């Protein structure tokens, strides 16, 4: 088994000194983290490494020497570095030196237990990328996962560079600049009072919403049916998560907070842009002026549709009496709706003006209000659908029960099954009479039910598209996608190795590169939770509900409590 030496490419130009790293005996590999330069005191070096071990929880030691002499051969330096091996007695001991005829470095392994000659594989890696990346789809006990974990946990070691004054001078990966760190620290300091203010307002709003007056049964039922209240509650939970003073303990919690913050920020930004567009060119007034003619046009189309149904629709012969009753009943509801719209027409522009202000809470809140407005404007269509569905369902259940009567069967309510039953002549005669009446009235009822069901499904489809857009904006992990786009190494799916040089009798040189996480896996891993307002039915169950006349509610169903 070959010995693998993971060497940071940032230390390639370091001066002569010692190699600081970690030896992983179970994998027979060493991870070099930094190079230590002259002058140094061995006691100070040991105390510094002990201090780092207490901070990181991983073993850290001097594992070898590093020679980067500009001359082809410096015997004095080689002898001096060789003597350092007796001071720091680590097994195995690495001796890395620059080759005169190559741009790479040679590596020898000494004091290896049991085996003197081992194949050496020198793997170069980018220390900065490994420290900032999060490895996915890797076993916890694999060698690559151990290398990532070693580099990530020794971040306190990288806080000190060769220009800082202290007992030791190290060379390793350095930050891009002090100015960026200062800006980050200032943002962190400013976020503390901001989070405290947000947390206070969130608790205040939560206490107001929990009042007995607002949480009573009539209002609580109304709030549960409105998409706006649901979206506001979701955003309130997002603000509570962002303003939490608890520090993210792991990568998953941090990514959830970051994704939630960026999602909320983009949502509010898009909402403000929409609000500025609405108020900039008096689009609210134009929308209010166009709303009344649209409502009148819809009412006129519904009246023409009912008049068509009250005649001979598509050449079908309907029951004249029932057709006339149903047509006038629905026509009366349309007249009531037109009167309601006329009564509200002077206040529509003022209502829309105040609704436009809600866009500053986010684009998803504005879309939720739009969904609720569509539900209110099409409430008469919903009433038509419920009336038709209930009447059609009543007839279907009646026909089903009477059909069992002809076959000598009945439905056992206690055992929830069909049992045999004997009927007398009067019951059979009455059942035949009722079956005939319901059967001949069924086509007229089914036609009204079919027409209003199609209208209701059209409204549900429009609301479904709006709800899908809301869920998409609320659940997309924008921060994770941004990291995958700009800094793909932050989310690693694994590593790949590229061979740099292979010569007989010399270590094999490899370059370790990070494979970024695919976009699909990024969405699956970091997608934010979202609630749906529509019941999740299969096509089979949906067709069954439509056939028997069961009402399809476009509202979020209550989850059953698990015992």
The per-residue pLDDT for range 403-437, each reduced to its tens digit, is 878 777 777 777 777 777 777 777 788 888 888 88
pLDDT exceeds cutoff 60 at 532: no
Instruction: Tell me: do 502 and 400 sit in the same domain.
Output: no
Which stretch of DSSP H or E encloses residue 23?
A: strand 17-24
Q: State both tokens at 34.
A: 């930094």
48 and 91 in a common domain: yes
Rounded Cα–Cα distance for residues 43 and 132 (Å): 32
Based on the domain organization, do 404 and 512 belong to the same domain? no
Give the per-residue pLDDT at 176: 43
- Could you read off the pLDDT of 366-389 as tens digits, one per residue? 898 888 888 888 888 888 888 888
Alpha helices in 160-216 (DSSP H): 178-209
Q: Which residue(s) pair with 5 in the sheet?
A: 30, 122
Residue 210 lies in a domain: no
Residues 141, 98 share a domain: yes
- 339 and 414 in a single domain? The answer is yes
Residue 306 lies in a domain: yes
Q: Is residue 40 part of a domain?
A: yes
Two structure tokens written together for 467: 């709800």
- Give a yes or no: residue 264 inside a domain: no
How does pLDDT run across 244-290, given as a tens digit for each residue? 777 777 888 888 888 988 999 999 999 889 888 888 877 788 888 88
Classify residue 380: in a domain, yes or no: yes
Query: Which residue range is the domain that position 350 belongs to?
Result: 278-476+529-548
Token representation of residue 286: 């134009």
Same domain, 509 and 382: no
* 299-316 pLDDT tens trace: 888 888 888 888 777 777
Name the pLDDT band for 478 (thresholds 50, 70, 90): very high
Q: How many domains does the chain have?
A: 2
Q: How many residues does the chain have?
A: 563
Other C-beta atoms within 10 Å of 465: how many?
A: 12
- Going by pLDDT thresholds of 50, 70 and 90, the confidence category of residue 560 is very low
472 with 503, same domain: the answer is no
Same domain (yes/no): 14, 118: yes
Q: What is the DSSP string of 37-72?
A: ESS--HHHHHHHHHHHHHHHSS--EEEEEEE--SSS
Give the max Cα distance, the chain: 122
Q: If you average pLDDT over every residue of the chain, what do you get?
A: 79
Q: With 70 as the cut, is the pLDDT of residue 554 above it?
A: no
User: Is 231 domain-assigned?
Assistant: no
DSSP state of 166: S
- Same domain membership, residue 32 and residue 117: yes
Structural domain contains residue 404: yes
80 pLDDT band, cuts 50/70/90, is: low
pLDDT at 66 (0 to 100) = 80
Which pLDDT does position 559 carry in this prediction? 41
In order, the DSSP letters of 445-470 are HHHHHHHHHHHHHHHHHHHHHHHHHH
Q: Give the range among 109-118, 125-134, 155-164, 473-482 with minimum mean pLDDT.
A: 109-118
Q: Do 42 and 166 have their domain in common?
A: yes
Mean pLDDT of 152-157: 82
Position 347 in a domain: yes
Q: How far is Cα 67 from Cα 54, in angstroms, rounded to an integer?
A: 29
Residues 116 and 147 in one domain: yes
- 470 and 501 inside one domain: no
């Amino acid at each position: 088994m070959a010995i693998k030496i993971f060497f940071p490419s940032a230390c390639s130009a370091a001066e002569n000194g010692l190699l600081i790293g970690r030896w992983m005996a179970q994998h027979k590999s060493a991870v070099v983290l930094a190079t230590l330069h002259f002058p140094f005191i061995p006691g100070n070096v040991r105390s510094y490494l002990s201090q780092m071990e207490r901070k990181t929880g991983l073993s850290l030691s001097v594992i070898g020497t590093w020679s980067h002499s500009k001359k082809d051969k410096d015997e004095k330096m080689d002898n001096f570095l060789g003597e350092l091996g007796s001071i720091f007695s680590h097994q195995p001991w690495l001796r890395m030196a620059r080759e005169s005829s190559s741009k790479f470095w040679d590596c020898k392994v000494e004091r290896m237990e049991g085996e003197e000659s081992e194949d050496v594989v020198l793997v170069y890696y980018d220390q900065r990328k490994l420290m900032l990346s999060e490895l996915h789809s890797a076993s916890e006990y694999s060698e690559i996962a151990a290398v990532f974990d070693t580099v990530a946990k020794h971040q306190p070691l990288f806080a000190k560079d060769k220009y800082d004054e202290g007992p030791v001078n190290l060379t390793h990966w350095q930050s891009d600049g002090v100015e960026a760190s200062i800006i980050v620290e200032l943002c962190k300091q400013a976020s503390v009072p901001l989070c405290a203010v947000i947390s206070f307002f969130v608790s205040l709003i939560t206490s107001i919403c929990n009042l007995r007056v607002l949480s009573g049964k009539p209002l609580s039922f109304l709030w549960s049916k409105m998409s706006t209240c649901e979206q506001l509650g979701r955003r309130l939970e997002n603000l509570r998560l962002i303003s939490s003073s608890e520090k993210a303990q792991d990568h998953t919690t941090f990514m959830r907070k970051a994704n939630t913050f960026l999602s909320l920020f983009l949502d509010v930004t898009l909402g403000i842009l929409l609000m500025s567009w609405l108020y900039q060119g008096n689009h609210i007034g134009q929308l209010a002026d166009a709303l009344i003619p649209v409502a009148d046009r819809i009412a006129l189309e519904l009246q023409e549709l009912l008049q068509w149904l009250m005649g001979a629709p598509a050449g079908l012969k309907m029951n004249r009496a029932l057709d006339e009753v149903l047509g006038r009943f629905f026509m009366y509801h349309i007249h009531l709706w037109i009167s309601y719209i006329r009564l509200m027409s002077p206040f529509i522009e003022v209502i829309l003006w105040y609704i436009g202000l809600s866009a500053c809470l986010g684009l998803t809140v504005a879309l939720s209000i739009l969904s609720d407005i569509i539900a209110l404007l099409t409430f008469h269509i919903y009433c038509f659908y419920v009336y038709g569905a209930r009447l059609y369902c009543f007839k279907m259940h009646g026909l089903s029960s009477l059909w069992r009567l002809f076959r000598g069967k009945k439905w056992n309510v206690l055992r929830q099954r069909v049992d045999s039953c004997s009927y007398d002549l009067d019951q059979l005669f009455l059942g035949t009479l009722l079956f005939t009446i319901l059967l001949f009235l069924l086509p007229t009822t089914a036609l009204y039910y079919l027409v209003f069901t199609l209208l209701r499904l059209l409204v549900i489809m429009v609301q479904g598209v709006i709800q899908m857009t809301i869920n998409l904006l609320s659940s997309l992990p924008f921060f994770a996608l941004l990291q995958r786009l700009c800094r793909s190494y932050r989310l690693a799916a694994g590593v790949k190795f590229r061979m740099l040089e292979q010569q007989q009798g010399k270590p094999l040189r490899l370059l370790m590169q990070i494979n970024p996480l695919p976009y699909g896996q990024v969405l699956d891993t970091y997608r934010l939770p979202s609630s749906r307002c529509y019941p999740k039915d299969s096509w089979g169950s949906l067709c069954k509900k439509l056939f028997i006349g069961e009402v399809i509610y476009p509202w979020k169903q209550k989850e059953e409590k698990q015992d």
